[in-house]
Amino acid sequence: MSKPFPVQQGVRQGGILSTELYKVYINDVLDQLENSGLGTYIGNIYCGSPTCADDVALIANSPNDLQTMISTVENYSMQEKYSLQPTKSVILKHEPPSKDTGFNFKINNIEMNEPDSAVHIGIKHSSDLKKTISIHVDENISKARRTMYSLMGAGLHGKNGLNPITCLHIFNVYVLPVLIYGIDILLPDNKHLEPLEVFYRKSIKQILSLPNNTADAAIYTIAGVIPLQGIIHKAALNIYNKICGMESSVEKDLAERQLSISGFNSKNWFSKIRCLLAQYNLPSAHELIQNPVSRYRWKANVKKAVDNVWHEQLRTKVSLFSSLRNLSANNILWHNIHPCLASVGTSAQDINRLQPKLKLLTGTYYLQSNKAAFNQNSIDPTCLLCNENSETVEHFILDCKSLNNTRIPYLHELDCFLRSIKNCDNRF
What per-residue confidence (pLDDT) applies to 263?
Answer: 76
At 301, is the pLDDT very low, low, confident or very high (cuts 50, 70, 90)? very high
State the Cα–Cα distance between residues 298 and 237, nearest whole angstrom.
Answer: 9
Residues above pLDDT 70, as percent of the chain:
79
What per-residue confidence (pLDDT) applies to 284?
Answer: 92
pLDDT at 171 over 60: no
What per-residue confidence (pLDDT) applies to 187?
Answer: 66
State the Cα–Cα distance between residues 271 and 263, nearest whole angstrom.
Answer: 7
What per-residue confidence (pLDDT) applies to 102?
Answer: 73
Question: Where on the phi/psi map is residue 61: left (φ > 0), alpha (ψ -120 to 50), or beta?
Answer: alpha
What per-residue confidence (pLDDT) applies to 170?
Answer: 30
- Residue with more model confidence, 173 or 52: 52
What's the whole-number mean pLDDT along residues 378-393?
86
pLDDT at 2 over 80: no
What's the whole-number mean pLDDT along residues 62-76?
87
At 394, is the pLDDT very low, low, confident or very high (cuts 50, 70, 90)? confident
- Residue with more model confidence, 23 or 406: 406
Instruction: Read off the pLDDT of residues 185-207 as tens digits, 9 standing for 90 and up.
Output: 456 666 778 888 888 898 888 88
What per-residue confidence (pLDDT) applies to 306?
Answer: 94
- Residue with more model confidence, 427 or 37: 37
Buried b (16+ CB within 10 A) or exposed e, 263-298: eeebebbbbbbbebbeebebeebeebbeebbeeeeb
State the Cα–Cα distance between residues 55 and 49, nearest whole angstrom.
Answer: 10
pLDDT at 351 over 90: no
What's the whole-number mean pLDDT along residues 259-269?
79
Q: What is the mean pLDDT of the chain?
A: 76
- The strand pair at 41-42 and 117-120 is best described as unpaired
What per-residue confidence (pLDDT) applies to 237?
Answer: 92
SS3 of residue 413 by DSSP? helix
For 243-312, list the strands marked E by DSSP: none
Sheet holding 55-60, edge to edge: 51-52, 55-60, 169-174, 91-93
Cβ(306)–Cβ(226) below 8 Å? yes
At 144, is the pLDDT very low, low, confident or very high (cuts 50, 70, 90)? very low
- Residue with more model confidence, 56 or 169: 56
What per-residue confidence (pLDDT) applies to 307?
Answer: 93
Of these ranges, 15-19, 317-321, 371-375, the one predicted with the greatest mean pLDDT is 317-321
∠ Cα 384 386 392 (to 5°):
65
- Residue with more model confidence, 390 or 120: 390
Instruction: Read off the pLDDT of residues 73-129 as tens digits, 9 standing for 90 and up.
Output: 888 888 888 778 777 788 877 666 666 667 888 888 888 887 777 776 666 666 654
What per-residue confidence (pLDDT) applies to 125?
Answer: 65
At 333, is the pLDDT very low, low, confident or very high (cuts 50, 70, 90)? confident
pLDDT at 134 over 50: no
